[in-house]
Amino acid sequence: MSAEQNPVDVSREGIEERAVQPFQLKQPLFRIPLIFNFGSGAGRILSQIDTSKFNGWKVAVNNSERDLELLEEVNQRICTGEDRSGSGMNLEKARKDFQHDANKIPTVVRERCEKAKIDIPDIIPIIATLGHGFGSGSLPEAAKLLKQKFPKSVLFVFAVTPFSFQGGPITERAKMSLRACRDYGITTTPISNQSASKKLNLAPQTLALSKIYHAIKNEISDLLSSLFDALTAKSGIVESMDRNDLARIWAGESSLIMKASYGSIGSISPKSIEDAEKHLFVDMNYGNPGRNEPLSTATYIIDGPGEITIGQLESINRILVEKYQSSLEMFKPLIVQRKRDWANFILIRGRVSLQI
């Protein structure tokens, strides 16, 4: 066959010359104009999250004026309730204090959308610390309100649960808050202080409590910073997803998130799932849905230098199907190829049953 009859160049050089370039976007892939926190511990996590790359406005919400004053690196503080002196570990007072100023929450969302020149956020993240008072009492009400006011936005609810040494009543308040979110149809992503301290090999007998808190806060802040950074990428997008894809992934009673980091994308393999699960900080009981319910979902974000191969993706997908019996149609990875010194593999599991 002559060259004229076979114009397709199948040489390696020809493939490389016509290699598809990663997508470049004018707007971020997902628009996250602001991030909320509820509770003082969540405020310290929010303070440390890097939102500079996507101009995320950090909004701290509490019913304790003193706790809000202690926060650094937040853009806006909203103090709720009449006395502004905290909840005294009373969930009902926390709930009423939030409701007293609940209208301020959707208002600030609309203000930040107007500032960003967008109609609605693609994603509204919430970070709450559960067990003590304000976070536990306000989270279900705040999440329900935002879901009602912005039904097309995807709600990310990260709920930090307590240490076991804090006692049964504290743990039960955290569970009550998670149950209330479930009753309202809110998907929560619990992150356990207790589980994190074990998986990070923090020695409770010798390490000061302040250092343990600091290490866990750094870990959670780093995880969420990496997640938001990837989701708001503007350049290097090889495999994309849209808001409806994300809504199908981040669904069910609970969604779990974990991350592993590597020197390059070439280091990512099926073992990356095990590496990521070492940073799955949950201590509640979880299970896949029953036979008559939708299958659990699993997807992943790969963000880093270099190029991923089809072979790597096929291996990861096969392991995820075998491990979680996940629905194959739900595999919609986000792959971002950017100039950086490391690669992140972020694994997300959705439609997980919260068995509490």
Tracing tokens 């955290």 back to the chain, one arrives at 174
Per CATH, which fold does 254-354 belong to?
60s Ribosomal Protein L30; Chain: A; (3.30.1330)
Over 70: is that where the pLDDT of 4 sits? Answer: no
Over 90: is that where the pLDDT of 113 sits? Answer: yes
Higher pLDDT, 254 or 166: 254
The pLDDT value given to residue 199: 87
Highest mean pLDDT among 200-214, 272-286, 288-302: 272-286
For the domain spanning 34-231, the CATH number is 3.40.50.1440
The pLDDT value given to residue 8: 47
Over 80: is that where the pLDDT of 339 sits? Answer: yes
The pLDDT value given to residue 242: 93
The pLDDT value given to residue 290: 59
Torsion angle of C-alpha atoms 324, 326, 328, 332, degrees rounded to 10: -90
Confidence of residue 164 (pLDDT cuts 50, 70, 90): confident
Over 50: is that where the pLDDT of 177 sits? Answer: yes
Return mean pLDDT, the chain: 88
The pLDDT value given to residue 222: 95
What digits encode the pLDDT tens for the residues 244-273? 999 988 988 999 999 999 999 999 999 999
Residues 6+ apart with CB under 8 A from 320: 273, 298, 300, 326, 331
Percent of the chain with pLDDT over 90: 66
Highest mean pLDDT among 170-184, 287-301, 320-334: 170-184
Q: Which of 112-126, 130-144, 188-202 has the lowest mean pLDDT?
A: 188-202
For the chain, the domains span: 34-231, 254-354
The pLDDT value given to residue 298: 86
DSSP secondary structure letter of residue 305: S
Q: What is the mean pLDDT of residues 149-163?
A: 96
The pLDDT value given to residue 353: 85
* Spatial contact of 194 and 164, defined as CB atoms under 8 Å apart: yes
DSSP one-letter string for 151-202: TTSEEEEEEEEPPGGG-HHHHHHHHHHHHHHHHTT--EEEEEHHHHHHHTT-
Percent of the chain with pLDDT over 70: 89
Confidence of residue 17 (pLDDT cuts 50, 70, 90): very low
* Spatial contact of 215 and 181, defined as CB atoms under 8 Å apart: no
What digits encode the pLDDT tens for the residues 217-242? 999 999 999 999 999 999 999 999 99
Over 90: is that where the pLDDT of 145 sits? Answer: yes
DSSP secondary structure letter of residue 295: P
Predicted TM-score (pTM) of this structure: 0.90
The pLDDT value given to residue 18: 52
One-letter amino acid for residue 348 of the chain: I
Confidence of residue 15 (pLDDT cuts 50, 70, 90): very low
Confidence of residue 323 (pLDDT cuts 50, 70, 90): confident
The pLDDT value given to residue 302: 97
Q: What is the mean pLDDT of residues 98-104?
A: 97
Confidence of residue 292 (pLDDT cuts 50, 70, 90): low
Confidence of residue 20 (pLDDT cuts 50, 70, 90): low
